[in-house]
A and B are shown apart, each in its own frame.
Chain A
Amino acid sequence: MSAKIAYADVEVGTELPARTFPVDRERLVRYAGASGDFNPIHWNERFAKEVGLPDVIAHGMFTMAEAIRVVTDWTGDPAAVVEYGVRFTRPVVVPDDEKGAEIEVHGKVAAKIDDEQRTVRVDLTVSSAGQKVLGMSRAVLRLA
């Protein structure tokens, strides 16, 4: 493993480059196929509304997969991620228009855990349409 970020160069409070990820219906269909999660709330507007949702929503696991990209783009080596957890607090609503939705992800180093293991904890803030969609979104990374 060879993360391109060195433990010694990182401080508590270090911010990771923020990113915004677009999500439209096509992307949800692709994710459904790739992940095998064909729950119709992620592609069928009629069904989503019948079960009380405002519209089709993104897979929580899709949002989780997007959010960690802020970390893996930063470290270069995705295997730097030794732990990654989130709480699904609000759905990402994806309208069937030209724009779809956006997932905004910010990350910063919240703690240096172990000098010998070179592990740090990164806390992620993940929102869509101005509201947080993931809570307790944290990753433990082993750096170079």
Chain B
Amino acid sequence: MALDQSFVGRTYPPTPPYEVGREKIREFAEAVGDTNPAYTDPEAAAALGHPDVIAPPTFVFAITFNAARQVTEDPQLGLDYDRVVHGDQKFVHVRPVRPGDRLTVSTTIEAIKSMAGNDILDVRGDVHDEAGELVVTAYTKLVARGPEADAPAAETKGA
């Protein structure tokens, strides 16, 4: 069933602050297998001009996707989350995420489309630091497959 277009433009209340941990950044970099010292060594980061280590470019997704649950679990929107796959993802960085950042996410529904029986939802997460400055924006496209789209699920499931 097509989603209600009146949700386009809706912004959800900012999430409680997520405090970025130095060891969480290290854990993420190690999980990816990325040994870039900018993620773990403050001196190496300083040599690049950073006040502290920085997080990898996609680190913030864990925070913005958690915030996007306000949308995916909104009973009024009624998205069938069991049918949702991750279509596209984009980040626009103002500055890198750093340890000690207390980040809040404001999530907005940018677009709702219906194509070939699928519902396509564009969600934007604006991530601000404690001073209210924009740090990064995450653009997430979610595709809720229609019932008739079951067959190619294995081909499209990418999240």
Which residues of chain A have a CB within 8 Å of any CB of chain B?
1-2, 21, 27, 30-31, 33-37, 39, 41, 51-54, 57, 59-62, 64-66, 68-69, 72-73, 76-79, 81-91, 133, 136
Residues of A near B36 (CB, < 8 A) are 69, 72-73, 78
- Cβ contact within 8 Å between B50 and A27: no
Taking chain B's interface residues, is the majority helix, strand, or loop, or is none over half, making it mixed?
A: mixed
- Cβ contact within 8 Å between A30 and B66: no
- Cβ contact within 8 Å between A31 and B32: yes
Q: Which residue from chain A places its CB closest to the CB of B139 in the assembled complex?
A: A85
Which residues of chain B have a CB within 8 Å of any CB of chain A?
24, 27-28, 30-34, 36, 38-39, 47-50, 54, 56-58, 61-62, 65-66, 85-93, 95-96, 139, 150, 153-155, 157-159
Give Cα A72 to B44, complex, Å. 14
- Cβ contact within 8 Å between A35 and B62: yes
- Cβ contact within 8 Å between A81 and B48: no
Residues of B near A1 (CB, < 8 A) are 48-50
- Which residue from A35, A60, A78 sits with its C-beta under 8 Å from B86? A60
Q: Chain A's nearest CB lies how many Å from the CB of B63? A: 9
Q: Given contact pairs A33-B31, A64-B58, A79-B93, enumerate 5 new A-B contacts (beta carbons under 8 Å).
A: A31-B32, A62-B32, A69-B32, A83-B90, A88-B85
Give Cα A89 to B159, complex, Å. 10
- Cβ contact within 8 Å between A85 and B33: no
5 contacts between A and B (CB under 8 A): A2-B49, A36-B66, A61-B89, A79-B93, A88-B159
Give Cα A68 to B33, complex, Å. 12
- Which residue from B39, B48, B91 sits with its C-beta under 8 Å from A2? B48
- Cβ contact within 8 Å between B87 and A88: yes
- Cβ contact within 8 Å between A89 and B158: yes
Q: Chain B's nearest CB lies how many Å from the CB of A5? A: 13
Give Cα A75 to B100, complex, Å. 25
Q: Chain A's nearest CB lies how many Å from the CB of B53? A: 10
Q: Chain B's nearest CB lies how many Å from the CB of A104? A: 15
Residues of B near A27 (CB, < 8 A) are 31, 33
Residues of B near A61 (CB, < 8 A) are 58, 61, 86, 89, 159
Q: Chain A's nearest CB lies how many Å from the CB of B109? A: 19
Residues of A near B32 (CB, < 8 A) are 31, 34, 62, 65-66, 69
- Cβ contact within 8 Å between A57 and B62: no
Q: Which has the most chain A C-beta neighbours within 10 Å: B34, B57, B58?
A: B57
- Cβ contact within 8 Å between A34 and B159: no
Give Cα A91 to B24, complex, Å. 26
Q: Chain A's nearest CB lies how many Å from the CB of B36? A: 6
- Cβ contact within 8 Å between B92 and A82: yes
Residues of B near A82 (CB, < 8 A) are 92-93
